Amino acid sequence: MQVSAMAAATEKLGFGITVSATYEQPYALARRFSSLDHLTRGRIAWNIVTSYLDGAARNLGMDRQMSHDERYDLAEEVVDVCYKLWEGSWEEDAVIIDRKTQVYADPEKVHTIDHKGKYFSVPGVHLSEPSPQRTPVIWQAGTSAKGRAFAAKHAEAVFTVAPTAEVLRTYVDDIRAVAASHGRDPRSVKIYTEIATVVAPTDTEAQAKYEEFLSWADYEGALAFYAGITGIDLSMLDPDQPLEYVETDSARFALEIFSKADPNRTWTPREVVNFVSIGAMGPVFVGSSQTVADELERWIDDADIDGFNIAYVTTPGTFEDFIEHVVPELQARGRYWTDYDESNTLRERIYEPGQNRVREDHPAAVYRRQLGDKAAAREAAKPTGEVVTASAG
């Protein structure tokens, strides 16, 4: 409801909707995304998450939350069913809309997907004609090893988080390498990392603002925030005891980045609390517009990323400060656009004008090619119109 209303009031704004693959029926989910892609004229993305809270699972019909790796196995089948519906059900020219004959679509060009898998059985056709993007732009925020593998296979944009550019580079290199192993162009996977910023006209003023924000932080609140993500209560530990990695079924990345991601750094509960108390799980860039822009450029170059997912420190405040101070500085350096191009869909703005459908090296394109094969076979089976005669000899 909110997205369709915002889409009606905007022309270029894209909408990334976070939906958990753990609790969705793919048949209904695919229809909702197609409807939104129609309503927004191609400005929809699906941010795929797999959920980790045990309480959520119990309240949504499960006895307990599925294991971390099984949630990704389930997500694989969910997206596969959706790809079949979006890309493999309706041929491009299936819609006729002939009022005189009262024919909406050519039934020969609308196909069942006949899916039978471990988790789902979906025999029918997709209940929506092809939308501007067919498949919404696929976003994913996997930072665990299993999450990175899933992202490298499916995601067109990946959201990551790491405490340093050096640690992030290891994630980025891994994602791009796995993407290449799936036959994808590794540069087609756009990678963004989470940061927060505290910006002011001068470095001194920005540092003073940061210190004020830090004074508002609550130690127990930060511990509760971290426990909610990881399932581990750090309050039971010595605040200055180095952390060790343990396997859990919660968000493993939040454990990994503070325990084993950087072999040259150990973290204590106190340091983790200070880190997550402002912004979210990513680092905080503090300084003037020039200082923050320098740090943004360094991360782009050193970590080989494509951009940033900016978390707020205060709202309102953080985004307004960034727009007022940092965006003009980035524009002056040629690092930030000054106006939208002629692209219409969200996917085109991620790639280039004209690329409104998934790339040929994306796994969803397999079903597009299969659909093309069906159309070609039907055309080949049509009578040629030649007249054959026989003579009595």
CATH of domain 2-190+344-376: 3.20.20.30
User: Any idea what DSSP says for residue 276?
Assistant: H
Sort strands 121-122 and 115-116 into parallel, antiparallel or unpaired: antiparallel
**pLDDT, tens digit only, all 393 positions of the chain:** 689 999 999 998 999 999 999 999 999 999 999 999 999 999 999 999 988 778 888 898 888 888 888 999 999 999 999 999 999 999 999 999 999 999 999 999 999 999 999 999 999 999 999 999 999 999 998 667 888 899 999 999 999 988 899 989 998 999 999 999 999 999 999 999 999 999 999 999 999 999 999 888 888 888 888 777 777 777 877 888 877 665 554 444 555 656 555 667 777 877 777 777 887 778 999 999 999 999 999 999 999 999 999 999 999 999 999 999 999 999 999 999 898 888 899 999 999 999 999 999 999 999 999 998 888 888 888 876 554 454 444
For tokens 């996997």, the residue is 142
Q: Where are the domains of the chain?
A: 2-190+344-376, 195-332
∠ at Cα 60 (126, 127), nearest 5°?
A: 10
Closest CA to 359 of 206, 211, 184, 237: 184
- The three-class DSSP label of residue 38 is helix
Q: Give the up-direction half-sphere exposure of residue 230: CA atoms within 13 A in the CB hemisphere.
A: 24
- What residues form DSSP beta bridges with 20? 49
Residue 324 contacts residue 287 (beta carbons within 8 Å): no
